[in-house]
A and B are shown apart, each in its own frame.
Chain A
Amino acid sequence: MSPADGVVRTLVVVCAHWPLVAAGSSSTDAAVVIGAGRVVAVSPRARAEGIELGHRRREAQRRCPSVVVHEADPDRDARLFHLVTSVLEPITARIELSTPGVVAFPTRGPSRRLGGDAALADAVARAVDGVMTGMGWPGSVGVGIADGRFAAEQVAAQMVVHGGVGVLDPGTSPAFLAPQPVTVLGRDELTEVLLRLGITTLGAFAALPVADVAARFGPEGLLARRLAAGLDDHIPQVAAPPPHLMVTAELDPPVDRVDRAAFVAKGLAEQLHEMLAADGLSCTRVHIAAETETGECNERVWRQGDAFGVGALIDRVRWQLDGWLAGPALLRPTSGICRLTLLPDEVGPARGRQLGFWGGETAADERARRALARVQGIVGAAAVTVPEVRGGRGPGERIVRVPAATTDPDASRRGRATESPPWPGRVPAPSPALLVDRPVQVRDTTGRPVSVSGRGVLSAPPADLVGAASRPIGVAAWAGPWLLDERWWDPTGHRRRARLQLLLTDGRAVLVACEHQQWSIEGWYD
């Protein structure tokens, strides 16, 4: 390792299946975590049933009907990951986090103290495995030490599969990386092109002339090539950040609630972002420190491959403080936070890589994002939802509400429901504007309840709707019944229902459904 290269010998710990661990499932469950409609984490048992990352919820449930589905919650993941990072605190002071489930730190000091890289890796693996075993996931930890964070992460990821720890000797990172497939770079667009060009391994990619890579793939390609060559993703001209970029807020009175701290963090993050933008810089690693009245201090380094946007910075502060303030009593601070500091740890020239929090970059989006952050602060994150298009036949199934905080801000997650693939048996447009679930009775002219036979025949034409209002409402016209036999393969999800459209004498129209001979209103055409 030579300082000129900027390659730092790094230890990386990977906790496999972290979203599942945080969701509270155990290693023997068949479980998945779903985020933005797709499987984002899958347990070994579920994988054995044929569920893969990226499957839709229905696809996963089709392959394994008994699968336990957890909703993705980045806040929960980050909060609980504090349990892992806190056991590393006695070993190192320079804990660096990128995503929950992965933690890195430079090995130089700790390794010398503990008597070598191997001893350090063993100590870390034992400590973290203890935590993971307590959460029901023994043997799901991989530890890797190598020159550079990227190589160490690759080693750690392989060690998760094979178990144990892996230490690459200094100087051997390029040789280790060379035979790896280019897909480990995690840049889909780039690797797709590389594969079409016949470049399948990192070694082959690293052998390309730098100038050609820069000309064809731009800064991102250059960065990827550095990784592939076993250099770190620090661009050499990344300088120590100018000290004036540090932003600090004194909190008076001290704050002991995460939402209030996050509110302060919002101001800090915006201030920092403006200062960086004024200098034409962007920040890929940030040091966040919180200090309490009694002098306790909580410090973490967060990194993100793409530069931090304001929303991402606020998230990091919230995650870090949530883990500290709401964590186990033993680790919790004894008094309120009185100082919060954000220090960009690694800055580079801004290349326009910042992604807007909501995808778009318009002023209206920015205004809306700020307003919603405030509303979330008042009513809670769960009360602010956005539409997400899913498949389905019922009017309430086709588009559902998901918390705005859990959606992937950069993906175009919604689109138009009317362009989704056809679902035979769905009620045609226009759809009811109001969804109301209310038991009612449908009666014929003699006052007897109308029933639907197994073959879908009404016992008599409906004449009155009883229970929708204080008095019965007459039926002027009707159509149906349309039968629906859904999920017949699933004993718990199986539904058999018959739908009827009714036009009432007061001019309103209503969609009613019959299930187990019980009628209920499904929606009003308001």
Chain B
Amino acid sequence: MSRSMLTAFLAGLVFGVGLILSGMVNPAKVLAFLDLAGPWDPSLALVMGGAIAVALPAFLFLNRRTQTVFAEPLHLPTRQDIDARLILGSLGFGVGWGLAGFCPGPALVAVGALKTEALVFVIAMLGGMGIFELIERRSKVSKKA
């Protein structure tokens, strides 16, 4: 296993433990946060707050650099434009999130907790990503023609 795989594995493990501790892996809690008109559970706003409080200084530090701490290139996004794809895709993601209370990270962790429902969601999600790839390739081919 290379160093980049080892550090990515550790980051994934810490990320997953954080998701479990935060309550994000429990769809019932996610839906209780998204249900503003019901008995509202505001906890998940603090998850995002806690995450940003720790990640923001790290990204500020990286803003002044062009390399990782191992002197390898950064692969951070540079786009600034707001396009229709970004907005429509994000609007659609919110609908899918609200339907079952799963987003991609917590769903993978729930698969690791051997939840059959999560596995069904993840297989459908991979199918959706595959459909996206097919649409993208087809539109690239038709643009060339």
Question: Do chains A and B interact in one complex?
Answer: no
